[in-house]
Amino acid sequence: MAQKERTQNDEWDVGECRALIDELWSLREAMLAAEARLAPWIGKVDQGFLPSARNLAHYLALRHNDRRPLQDKLARIGLSSLGRAESNVLANLDKVLGILHRLVALPWQSHATDEPVGIKRSRKLLEQHTASLLGAPPTDRAVRIMVTLPSEAAGDYGLIRQLVDSGMDIARINCAHDGATEWKALVRHVRRAAKAIGRPVRILMDLGGPKLRTDHLPASTPVLKLRPVRDELGRVQIPVRLGLYPSGRPAQVKGASVSIGVEADWLSRIKQDDQLHLIDARDARRDFRVVGRDADGVLAESSQTSYLVPETRIGHRHKGHRTSITRIVDLPTQPGSLRLSRGSMIQLVRRKVGAGKTALQSQEIGCTLPEIFGQVSVGERIWFDDGRIGGIIRQVAADRLEVEITHAREAGEKLADDKGINLPDSQLELPALTDKDIEDLAIVATEADMVGLSFAQRASDVEALRGHLQALGAEHLGIVLKIETRRGFENLPELLYAALAGKAAGIMIARGDLAVECGYERLAEVQEEILWATEAAHLPVIWATQVLETLAQTGLPSRAEITDAAMGERAECVMLNKGPHILDAMHTLDDILRRMQSHQSKKRSLLRALNSWGIGA
């Protein structure tokens, strides 16, 4: 009976194996057919990337249909389920086919001539392509660390030296901020620091691109809040320190937390230990004592909270004289903002505030790219400030959009100037390179090792950038494509093929805008798919946006962002943004990446000995 049951099982296995062979041969033919269909794209790639381009075609065919039933069948008989085949798709499939043929005693001959790359060579190709773009990896860490340089570092070589000493492998300069003078200073500091420690540090200069942002919101009434620092019992620990300078000669008075301009004649009569008083915007009397005077102005202290507005008058009574009054001439300007709640109706308008222009009305918001007005439709979504505020376009006119706010906190949200606008449902036709980007490329070509293309959406964007680089004699620069729009994600295959046409290229997953464009709930899925596709193309990935952001800003990380940073080990580079605690963030990231690289390679778990539990010795 046992012999009969074993024979039946053997026959059942043979039948299943033969069915799997047929299914895998069909899949193999689909892969080769996909390669043939994509021949126009593959024919344009650099010869060094040809195996990668072919492998990408095979991967796209593999993922064209749902392969989960096939994976289950392969797993049931103990074979590779093709679940980790991204880097060597056809070779992996052929190995499975070869094993199945031998299991059922069918003849098998090698098909290696069809296979663009095997598992060993695929790893070497990724390493080579990564080194070409990002430079050699550090000694004890496979994943590079990129840091966005703060503007103030242009005048602070010491800060750059600290970043390099702490393990910065790549310095990122954001060309959306500052100008050529600051960029050149940053580059000089990086090159000098790298030379001093004998370790190369590459420089990425990121073009600003056609960034859609809020522009010139209605100016709010200037209100300056002066508040002392108190302990938990309300006792003043640090008093308010207000600087007063003569109007027309703006200065930051030494020791002051904030300075304002007052009438020069009035200020000239103020002496050490004089008393000043005012009635603030809440009709509260507030007293200040003069504690210092120098060439820049006067320093006054108070232990009370005050609210100053342009109408506020400051009084000074000198012994034996009548009280003299000054008006506030220069009050620090407050950026324009709007308070928005669900149900608010606002107007996104074409015109801006400027010479000869009418100021915006109370519920109007200017925008930096008026080209969008002819490219959006009623009913499409619009998001502001990294997705904090959301709305629906209700009306479209030649010079304005009417938007109903549908997403905001119960208490409302404040929308300020220079905040990002995303239109995830709109098919925007915007040039990847603005006039400013083209001007900036002249500096990038002489200073950088690689250039970042923001808002890459189609192959023609990459070709346009490469054309400008060739005209500047800068074909040697690596290109980093920033995937930060839904359209860029949807067109990822053509972007990858366009990237493979150069000598060095990579992908940045710009997760901030990408989350808004594709939906936060889809971000994990989207970033996984980008990682898989780029691995199939043997291109390096930069894991970017808000990595250890809380740690860099406050000095204390959240638990969630530590786990997120560990995910970065699956990329070839992790980017940190600037912050007052950036050195702490770098040290933490370095430690995480070193630990994780012995547990994970791409999405393949590594069976390192687990010594934590002390068992199995």
CATH assignment of the domain containing 265? 2.40.33
CA torsion through residues 365, 366, 368, 369, sign: positive
| 5 falls within a domain | no
Which of 286, 313, 330 is the endpoint of a domain? 330
Residue 21 token pair: 């062979």
| 141 falls within a domain | yes
Which of 83, 117, 151 is the endpoint of a domain? 117
| 418 falls within a domain | yes
Same domain as 564, residue 449: yes
pTM, two decimal places: 0.81
CATH number of the domain where residue 478 is located: 3.20.20.60
**pLDDT per position as a tens digit, 532-590:** 999 999 999 999 999 999 999 999 999 999 999 999 999 999 999 999 999 999 999 99
| 355 falls within a domain | yes
| 588 falls within a domain | yes
Same domain as 569, residue 478: yes
CA distance 295 to 279: 27
Same domain as 325, residue 355: no
Which of 117, 135, 150 is the endpoint of a domain? 117
Q: Give how far Cα 41 sits from Cα of 125, 301, 501, Å.
A: 20, 70, 9
CA distance 41 to 19: 34
Same domain as 580, residue 455: yes
CA distance 195 to 157: 13
Closest CA to 516 of 378, 395, 401, 381: 381
Environment class of 354 (CB within 10 Å of its CB; exposed 0-12, middle 13-18, buried 19+): exposed
| 617 falls within a domain | no
| 607 falls within a domain | no
Residue 312 token pair: 């506020």
Please report the pLDDT score of residue 357 as a whole number.
39
Please report the pLDDT score of residue 352 as a whole number.
52
Q: Give how far Cα 366 sits from Cα of 97, 337, 384, Å.
A: 61, 11, 13
Same domain as 168, residue 195: yes
Residue 19 token pair: 């069915």
**C-beta separation of 85 from 604 below 8 A:** no
| Dihedral Cα 565, 539, 111, 12, nearest 10 deg | 30
Q: Give how far Cα 615 sits from Cα of 37, 429, 599, Å.
A: 54, 61, 18
Closest CA to 513 of 548, 489, 542, 479: 489
CA distance 133 to 396: 44
DSSP notation for 422-475: E-TTS-----SS-HHHHHHHHHHHHH-SEEEETT--SHHHHHHHHHHHHHTT-T
Provide the H-helix boundaries in 198-351: 264-268
Please report the pLDDT score of residue 320 as a whole number.
65
Same domain as 241, residue 348: no
Same domain as 243, residue 163: no
Amino acid at 563: T
| 112 falls within a domain | yes
Same domain as 297, residue 249: yes
CA distance 468 to 439: 10
Q: DSSP 3-state assignment of 131?
A: helix
Closest CA to 99 of 30, 29, 20, 32: 20
CA distance 530 to 511: 11
CA distance 128 to 134: 10
Please report the pLDDT score of residue 353 as a whole number.
42
Only one residue has tokens 């860029």, namely 488
Neighbours of 215 (CB within 10 A): 21
CATH number of the domain where residue 369 is located: 2.40.33.10
Closest CA to 407 of 426, 387, 422: 387
CA distance 541 to 319: 72
Amino acid at 144: R
Q: Return the half-sphere exposure (C-beta side, CA atoms, 13 A cut-off) of residue 437.
A: 21
Number of domains present in the structure of the chain: 4
Neighbours of 556 (CB within 10 A): 9
What residue numbers bound the domain in which 262 lies? 224-330
**Phi, psi of 365, deg, nearest 5:** -130, 125
Please report the pLDDT score of residue 356 as a whole number.
36
DSSP 8-state class, residue 283: S
Residues of the chain with pLDDT under 50: 1-10, 353-359, 612, 614, 616-617
How far the first Cα of the chain sits from its last, in Å, is 43
Environment class of 26 (CB within 10 Å of its CB; exposed 0-12, middle 13-18, buried 19+): exposed
Same domain as 326, residue 341: no
Same domain as 168, residue 36: no
DSSP notation for 44-79: TS-GGGHHHHHHHHHHHHHTSS--HHHHHHHHHTT-
CA distance 583 to 408: 34
Residue 166 token pair: 């702490």
Closest CA to 164 of 196, 131, 132: 196
Closest CA to 299 of 245, 237, 225: 245
Only one residue has tokens 């002051």, namely 256
Same domain as 353, residue 391: yes
Same domain as 395, residue 254: no
